[in-house]
A and B are shown apart, each in its own frame.
Chain A
Amino acid sequence: MCMRFLLLFSRQGKLRLQKWFTPISEREKKKIIRDMTSMVLARQPRSCNFLHWKDLKIIYKRYASLYFCLAIENQENELLALEVIHRYVELLDKYFGNVCELDIIFNFEKAYFILDEFLMGGEIQETSKQMVNRSIEASDMLQETMEEYMSKPAF
């Protein structure tokens, strides 16, 4: 599942998370974000979740007030990409407990940490939900204990 980028944005088009799996210039990134938000937000409510853009397939899905937009290469399996998005949402949900957009806004760095335990280099890293959750918890614990030990506030 070679992914090129993952974007999360609100219904007003505000970006909440951006993960790029290939090196792209800042200008290009901004352009892509604009293109994606306008394309996805323009879609009718009950349309197909797949779009074509340049030489990539764009898979998008709306969860509550957030749009998850994943770009994959042309030979990849679109239905599995939908599953990837869903898995990420489940991971966020488990971590934050009934996750909502505000959680992701105020704890964006945690959303990234979770993503980095699930996907890596444009591929799926770990297929077990429990493993990902355990790794995140352990890393968080490491951060806390290290901080307690150094007797400084965590963040």
Chain B
Amino acid sequence: MSPSVPLQEMIRAIRSARTQCEERGVIQRECAAIRAQFRQSDNGGRSHNLAKLLYVHMLGYPAHFGQMECVRMIASPRYSEKRVGYLGAMMLLDEKQDASLLITNSIKNDLSHSNQYVQSLALCTLACMGSAEMCRDLAPEIDRLLRASNSYIKKKAALCAVHIVRKVHDLGELFTPAARSLLAEKNHGVLHGAVVLITELCERNQETLERFRKTVPDLVQIMKGLVISGYSPEHDVAGISDPFLQVRILRLLRILGRNNEGASDAMNDLLAQVATNTDSTKTVGNAVLYETVLTVLHIKSESGLRVLAVNILGRFLLNNDRNIRYIAMISLQKIVGTDHNAVQRHRGTIVDCLKDQDASVKRRALDLSLALVSASNVRSMMKELLLFLSSCPPELRAQAASGIFNAAERYAPSQRWHIDTILHVLTTAGGDVRDETVPNLIQLITNASELHCYTVHKLYRALLTDISQQSLVQVACWCIGEYGDLLLRGECQETEPVQVTEDDVLDALETVLQSHMSSPATRGFALTATMKLSTRITDNVDRIRSIVSIYGSCIDVELQQRAVEYNALFRKYDHMRAAVLERMPVIEKNSPGHTNGESTGEPIKDIQTLKVKQGEPLLPQQPANQVCDLLDLLGGSEVTLQPIPAVGGTAPGLFTNTSSTTGGDLLDLLGGLEPAPPAPAPTVQVYEKAGVALTLSCEKQSDSGLTVTLTASNSTDSDISSFTLQAAVPKSVQLHMKAPSGDSLPARGAAKVTQMVVLNNPNKVNLKMRIRISYSSQGSAFQDTVQIDSFPGLSAAGH
């Protein structure tokens, strides 16, 4: 076809402009000329003027003044003008423009034009930018064309129908009969269009899907024809006969076979055939295989077929083509939950992919490797993962570190291994770990009492090598503070003991204190550790005293406060120093001794007579799921802080939030901290106001233990957010609140929030509970309190 000279001249002129400014000038002149031309009535150059305008539009310049010209051109009887007019309509008009409605009539006329290429223009434009109104208007026309026209028009009408159904869902009904009959066509274009249309109809309407299930045998037949048939020059792509149609049919089969035994059975043989016979040397074959694998995995296929599918994915993993490896890993990730064993077989290849050059592949391999860690392979997998961590790209480090922690938490074969692993991660990627790692690790260490000596030795060595990783340094300081005496003793079964003097240890801590690399929190740790050592060493107490007094005038307020208080401990309360700085008790996760603590900012009311603040490191608090602010709730009287022997009073409290929140995080792999299923015990409604209702049920766990489940629901018309419950109980009762199921209550009871509370009543006092409910609804906050004096199902037990 001869090119448009005026258009090409303009393009040349624009391209030869040397600066943006020059280009703008050329374009402005041209646009002015075009506008002038548009105003004139019929002239020979209309189509090339519009084409010029469309080029200018593609460069990013405004072209809305061409919209009416498009409308005019579409109505022209000349094919060349129609062609450019419709192109302009597709580029400049969309359903939001008013002018688009004006072309509805032209489209309608052109749909019944005698020339099929004119019809095709109209169909194409309708499928591209037809608005819902236009679709409704023209749907009957399209239906007519679907039934009675040549294949060229039928295939276009089918896709037009797809667009109409997407815009106006109800019209799906209109096209269903025609779609069904189109499956009998031989022409691939029409067949493809028909399959797309049926897929669209089935995805939108469950009933239609049921009806089209009967077509599964026909589809299987068509596929067989494509797979087995010999070389067909018209549709062949690298040895595969019409891969586009094959993939579409496979997708439709997937939708029809999902959750349906009968349909799945009917396609089993075919899928096996496609999976084994398709040539996988080129991308196109792999595209078909990929679709087949997806179909097999989503329908109710027999296990042999599933294994075949996973093996195909395994083969993909070994493919040289990076794209195919990536695809394989994405698919394996999706099925690692359901077909875990099958995927495990390819673990070796997946782990190798951790070393791939491509960042996307690495990321997928990491996700998959973490999902594949199990009790049996944890040691070898962890070795690989730690190796990966040391060389992985920075954007993946945080994810890798937290994944390793989770896996270690779940499958650690021994405590020492667990501690080693965490230490390894902290040394390699200490900067990328989450904040809660530090308290978690500390808690782990205190629990492994036989490893205290080993741990403190290791950490001391780590501290000597590198003090830049804050998390590691914090843990190390804490350990040295706690177990410094073990370090100084110089004997250790698990590892090479270090001959270290008291001065060495104090030097190490002082280095941390003075280093500019240490964050304020770290320095806090170091100062406290130094202080603790005053009871564990014998000779250098004076040195400690001087260190502590120096920091009494430190600029950092936190350090200053600590130093001043420690000073006071030396001077006025020296007799209490030993007791205050005693070894900490073992912290248990989720133990009933936990109070769902106070956040750091809150002033802890003094329970002891000491004016000294507890000398424990105040760890960065995570926002508590349930701030059980007992003192606030009940006034001073019903304080339930567990009377732990003088020392560690609030210390466990500082760790509670972490355990309840991280407990939730870590256990997320197991499906989250699900609240207990609705107890078989009787449920009683304890609160009902303004549409918010709270019901309570309880279950006795042991002689003194009780689990209470609170369920909240919202029967108002507006959603409720930030819904929290706080609870308080009498003095001797221990309370622990688990993480709630959520904090939003959708309107009209669409979902509920459940909260489990574990109570321990060893003294068997009369059990009461006061609950504070707070939430926000429609932009304002609400708060209310309810007291529960009797618990259902308890009176029998005589509590």
Contacts and interface: CB of A to CB of B under 8 A. Distances in A.
Given A78-B323, A121-B162, A127-B235, A154 B2 contact: yes
Given A46-B358, A47-B358, 6 more contacts: A78-B323, A83-B283, A106-B3, A109-B7, A116-B90, A125-B189
Contact of B235 (A15, A17, A128, A144): A128
Contacts of A124: 192, 244
A48 B360 contact: yes
Interface in A83-126: 83-84, 87, 105-110, 112-113, 116, 120-126
Interface string B75-100: 00011100110010010001110000
Q: Assign chain A's interface to a size class.
A: 35 or more
Contacts of A154: 1-2, 4, 80
A121 to B, nearest CB: 4
B291 interface: yes
A83 B237 contact: yes
A79 B283 contact: yes
A132 to B, nearest CB: 9
B78 A125 contact: no
Interface in B227-254: 234-235, 237, 242-245, 247-248, 251
A109 B84 contact: yes
Given A49-B323, A113-B87, A120 B127 contact: yes
A135 to B, nearest CB: 7
B6 A126 contact: no
A105 B16 CA distance: 13
A35 interface: no
19 contacts: A15-B58, A50-B360, A77-B247, A79-B327, A82-B283, A83-B283, A110-B1, A113-B83, A116-B87, A116-B90, A120-B127, A121-B127, A123-B162, A125-B193, A131-B189, A135-B120, A150-B78, A153-B44, A154-B4
Interface in A1-33: 1, 15-18, 21, 23-25, 30
Interface stretch (B153-161, B171-179, B512-520): B153-161
Contact of A155 (B7, B120, B160): B7
Given A46-B322, A47-B358, A79-B324, A121 B193 contact: no
B115 A23 contact: no
B196 interface: yes
Given A80-B287, A106-B11, A154-B1, A146 B189 contact: no
B492 interface: no
Given A23-B96, A120-B124, A123-B159, A146 B80 contact: yes
Nearest to B92: A26
Interface of B: 1-8, 11, 15, 44, 47-48, 51, 54-55, 58-60, 78-80, 83-84, 87, 90, 94-96, 115, 117, 120, 123-124, 127-129, 152, 155-156, 159-160, 162-163, 188-189, 192-193, 196, 234-235, 237, 242-245, 247-248, 251, 283-284, 286-287, 290-291, 294, 322-324, 326-327, 357-361
B54 A109 contact: yes
A118 to B, nearest CB: 11
Given A120-B128, A155-B6, A146 B234 contact: no
Please classify the interface of chain B as helix (H, G, I), strand (E, B), loop, or mixed, using the class held by over half of its residues. Answer: helix
Contacts of A120: 123-124, 127-128, 156, 159-160
Contacts of B51: 109, 155
A20 to B, nearest CB: 8
A54 B287 CA distance: 24
B116 to A, nearest CB: 9
Given A23-B96, A113-B83, A155-B3, A77 B287 contact: yes
Contacts of B242: 127-128
A108 B58 contact: yes
Contacts of B234: 128-131
A83 B358 contact: no
Contact of B94 (A24, A30, A47, A121): A24
Given A48-B360, A109-B87, A143-B79, A23 B11 contact: no
Contacts of B359: 47
A149 B215 CA distance: 49
Given A79-B287, A110-B1, A155-B7, A126 B155 contact: yes
Closest CB pairs A-B (n = 4): A155-B4, A79-B287, A121-B127, A140-B1
Given A79-B290, A106-B11, A126-B189, A112 B80 contact: no
A79 B323 contact: yes
A155 B58 contact: no
A131 to B, nearest CB: 6
B162 to A, nearest CB: 6
Contacts of B95: 23
Given A80-B247, A113-B87, A126-B189, A48 B78 contact: no
A105 B189 contact: no
A138 interface: yes
Contact of A142 (B79, B189, B237): B79
A49 B287 CA distance: 14
Nearest to A33: B60
Contacts of A24: 94
B121 to A, nearest CB: 8
A58 to B, nearest CB: 12
A78 B59 CA distance: 29
A95 B508 CA distance: 76
A12 B140 CA distance: 47
Given A50-B360, A124-B244, A80 B291 contact: yes
Contacts of A143: 1, 79-80, 83
B714 to A, nearest CB: 30
Contacts of B160: 120-121
Contacts of A16: 58
Given A47-B358, A80-B291, A143-B80, A127 B192 contact: yes
A38 interface: no
Contacts of A131: 189, 234
A152 B44 contact: yes
Nearest to B326: A48
B367 to A, nearest CB: 13
A125 B395 CA distance: 41
A151 to B, nearest CB: 10
B128 A21 contact: yes
A120 B78 CA distance: 23
Contacts of B2: 144, 154-155
B357 A46 contact: yes
Nearest to A145: B79
Nearest to A109: B51
B163 A121 contact: yes
A84 B244 CA distance: 9
Nearest to B190: A126
Nearest to B5: A155
A78 B316 CA distance: 14
Contacts of A113: 83, 87
Contacts of B54: 108-109
Contacts of A129: 234
